[in-house]
Chain A
Amino acid sequence: MNVLETMKKCIREALPDLDMVMGWEQGFDTLHATPLFMETAEDVDRLILGPTCVQSLAVHLPSLKGKKIGVVVKGCDSRAVVQLLSENLLNRENLVIFGFGCDGVVSLSRLKKKLGALDFIESAEKKDDRLCIEINGEQQDLPFDDICAPKCLTCSRPNAIISDHFAGPQRTPRIPAKGKTALEKFEEKSLPERFDFWKAQMQRCVRCYACRDSCPMCVCRDHCVAVSRNPHFVSQEATASENFMFQLIHVMHLAGRCVSCGECERACPMDIPLGLLRAKSTEVTSALFNQEAGLDQEAVLPLLSFNIEEETIEEHD
């Protein structure tokens, strides 16, 4: 039995005790997957697993607190689940986690850069380390690393780190390629260069809030400060400074919590490299507190606790 069939079997067995199980199904073509909410055994037939299952379904979990929910997770998605559990935003007993080993997911924006428009996809299939895609009647065979999500290139946790059912074999983590990370490369630029870069990026931001809505760690929902008048942190004016204020608030709210799932960047219709901002904040918080988010559901999060003295920070000289 392959991974998909094993997974389907697991879900069918668990479904009677659950209100719903979340997974993916094929969207309008084979390159696009869309979330699938399975309530009956027939729904389970439509489940798919593969490189197109890009969305982190963990984003829906906090709003479903109180229901008995199953969720299918990749390695990166599972970190979000762990983080939400550690913040007490989910009840573990109401949650059934279906994990599997992920081979990486495609980045539609990278693919689009390679192929131009992504219309008329006939088929898309991953074969070993290549993606075979039939587009406009033409057969394309692309190295997967060229079109996968950037996070997959350095993925150290392809397997769900928390799961009640695990389908298929465990995948071996990627050994990150030698050389500088995107953040390190970016930080080599001078301050004015970086400022100009962000100014330009923030001028492009349309404040659609896709980054916020796709973020599994954004849990304020209807009460987001971005749209609040009291307190009035940001106005609705779509200027670079107000947009930047919003983006920085988002980063601050994720400090020490961001699980680096890359959903913000994936969801951004303007392809703004939001991951860079988060990578920086993660770098700072992990250097300060020697802790990474979303790895241990029992962890006491440094910014969500109070200590007179932080063990990892020398406060007196």
Chain B
Amino acid sequence: MHIGVFVCHCGSNISGTVDCPQTAKAAGEFPDVVYSTDEMYTCSEPGQESIIRAIKEHNLDGVVVASCSPRMHEATFRRTVERAGLNPYMFEMANIREHVSWVGRDKALNTRKAIDLIGMAVAKLRNGTPLFSERFNVTRKLMVIGGGVAGIQAALDAADSGIEVVLVERETTIGGKMAKLDKTFPTIDCSSCVLGPKMVEVAQHPKITLYAASEVDNVSGYVGNFTVQVRKRAVYVDWDACTGCGLCTEKCPSRKTPDPFNELIATTTAINIPFPQAIPKKATINPDYCLQLTKGKCGVCAKVCPVGCIDFEQQDKIEEVQVGAIVVATGYDLFDYSVYKQYGAGKLPDVITSLQYERLLNASGPTGGHVLRPSDGAEPKHVVFIQCVGSRDKSKGRAYCSSFCCMYTAKQAILTKSHLPDSQSYVFYMDIRSPGKGYDEFTRRTQELYGAQYIRGRVSSIHQHGSSLVVRGADTLAGMQVEIKADLVVLAVGIEPSRNSQKLAATLHISADTDGFFMEGHPKLKPVETNTAGVFLAGCCQGPRDIPTSVSMGSAAAAKAMVLFSNEQLESDPQVATVNATRCVGCYKCVKTCPFGAILESEDRWKNPKAEVLPTICKGCGICSVTCPHGAIQLNHFTDNQLLAEVNAICPLPTI
């Protein structure tokens, strides 16, 4: 082989603590290396050109670049060597920046390590083989999981560009958390007035198919060709026939059904439509409270329904949908604040969550927009807001900031004043986080114009005293204890990933961070991608986001899907597992360990059992290859021989 080694200075990023010329000189001594040099910026245009020139001049058939992480520039250099006529997989990268210059100070030792890493890359390359991609067709259809504002935006943008969209929503209506809100910060515009038209657009868009009351059961396949099993939950109403007239909900005798749309501060009927602007506006029976389904006697709704769409026999239905890309926009749920014993552990009726308070403020809420406290229906005079309940609290396993609570608390304090002009609001806060456009002005307005009293400190206890609550806490700026008699306490409860999102992550083969939020492909450069090709993220499933950011992410995810669908065909990654059929004994251990179901129990033409890899599904994780006891299944570009050569390059055989 003729190998060329290019050692990058990366400005002073590498050359500051690594002797690059000496490294390049030493690299020239490795077997098969015929050319080695050092460059200021190898990734720059002149840097790439010098690689191409060297390939031609020195007849190179393999290239090693010692520079940054492959995650940064491997693709760049693969294209470079391809331009010069080499197979892009006859290229190796030695990471002497993140692994060497950035982490070590001793120049001599760093240089030695850089040389070692290059030696490993050369050894691996010497055992490498050219690899070739396969081309496959793309299903130009997008699935959006989650119909909150982020998902709605993604669905609408993609559909407007001409892509078929399937929107899957777990609840019986789309709209997500935003549909529950009263007004939105910092403009105090009505939430449903902005969201409502978008929801209607989803319902009317010819390119969007909506699956409400549905969940994703299973996902198989790969980028461009996913097969998704969608479970349509039994709603006991034939939605094709239901007109949403609401007659059934008026007559239903089971009126004590908990109402999740109203955050459980009100009850509804067993057959219900969550709210007047629901999309789809169809009735749904809650089987746990329906008298017909629990006791077998009632059926009033069936009698009054003018179109006869009630179906007590309905079962869950599983439908298979073929899509090419998936946008995950599963949003958030509120943290279970009952672990805070000092806030009444969920036992005090007048201590409510911010989302429950939204429903009290909302004109379509259970109180018609009158702020009436849950215990006795009286108007509160003193309202205390407590921030960071389940946010920035390591002791409760919630170290992160939920990001938008500061802002909605300020908004709720303003709304309280406008609903109850005689009222006084108090806000216990840790820091006020208001970094958006017009946000800081907004929180100042809350204090200066609307007279909300901001107290910097934590609350140590809330207890019932007669009909009111006593809130005891610290005012750290005044350096004293404060005690406030409150009629209502609103907890700005932190957010956590939507329930069951861990299961979804496993189904989609995407990863989640330690807090359970889905991991983006790169924290800066790939904020809406995941490490699974064809799966994109939008909104709070990726981390706490306010509405404008969620909407931007929705649009961004849609744009990524459009980019994907702009290709007629996609190229498969050839870095996948391959089975050496003559060595495979058909024990199928690889089949059992493959996390992606990419290996089949197959047989050869003599009916001997053999494993078979589906290259388009294989993600190249290599678990099969370490499981196979005799190395019959090898990961291309990371074969046992390549890895052994790397190990041997840094660990010369001891003489024992």
Q: Which residues of A contact B (CB under 8 A)?
A: 87-89, 199, 202-203, 219-221, 223-225, 228, 230-233, 239-241, 253, 303-306, 308, 316
Contact = CB atoms under 8 A, between A and B. Distances in A.
B640 interface: yes
Contact of A306 (B595, B630, B634): B595
Given A239-B656, A306-B593, A221 B627 contact: no
Interface residues of B, number: 25
Interface in B636-652: 639-641, 644
Interface of B: 506, 514, 583, 585, 587-589, 592-595, 623, 627, 629-632, 634, 639-641, 644, 653-654, 656
Contacts of A230: 631, 641
A224 B595 CA distance: 25
A199 B630 contact: no
A308 B595 CA distance: 9
A306 B629 contact: no
Contacts of B594: 306
Contacts of A303: 593, 627
B629 A231 contact: no
B629 A253 contact: yes
Those 5 A-B pairs whose CB atoms lie nearest each other, nearest first: A231-B640, A220-B630, A231-B631, A223-B630, A306-B595
Given A231-B644, A303-B593, 12 more contacts: A199-B656, A219-B629, A223-B632, A228-B583, A231-B639, A231-B640, A303-B627, A304-B627, A306-B592, A306-B593, A306-B623, A308-B595
Contacts of B585: 219-221, 223
A3 B336 CA distance: 65
Contact of B583 (A202, A223, A240, A253): A223
Given A231-B644, A241-B654, A220 B639 contact: no
Contact of A240 (B595, B634, B656): B656
Contact of A241 (B589, B627, B639, B656): B656
B506 A308 contact: yes
B629 A220 contact: yes
25 contacts: A199-B656, A202-B656, A219-B585, A219-B629, A220-B629, A220-B630, A223-B630, A223-B632, A225-B630, A225-B631, A228-B583, A228-B631, A231-B631, A231-B639, A231-B641, A231-B644, A241-B656, A303-B627, A304-B589, A304-B592, A304-B593, A304-B627, A305-B593, A306-B593, A306-B595
A257 to B, nearest CB: 10
Contacts of A316: 514
Contact of A225 (B629, B653, B654): B629
Q: Is the interface of A mostly helix, strand, loop or mixed?
A: loop
Contacts of B641: 230-232
B656 A88 contact: no
Nearest to A227: B630
B490 to A, nearest CB: 32
A224 B644 contact: no
A199 B654 CA distance: 12
A221 B654 CA distance: 29
Nearest to B582: A223
A234 to B, nearest CB: 10
B648 to A, nearest CB: 10
A87 B630 contact: no
A88 B583 CA distance: 18
Contacts of A87: 587, 589
Contacts of A305: 592-593
Contacts of A89: 587
B595 A233 contact: no
Contacts of A202: 656
A219 B595 contact: no
Nearest to B583: A223
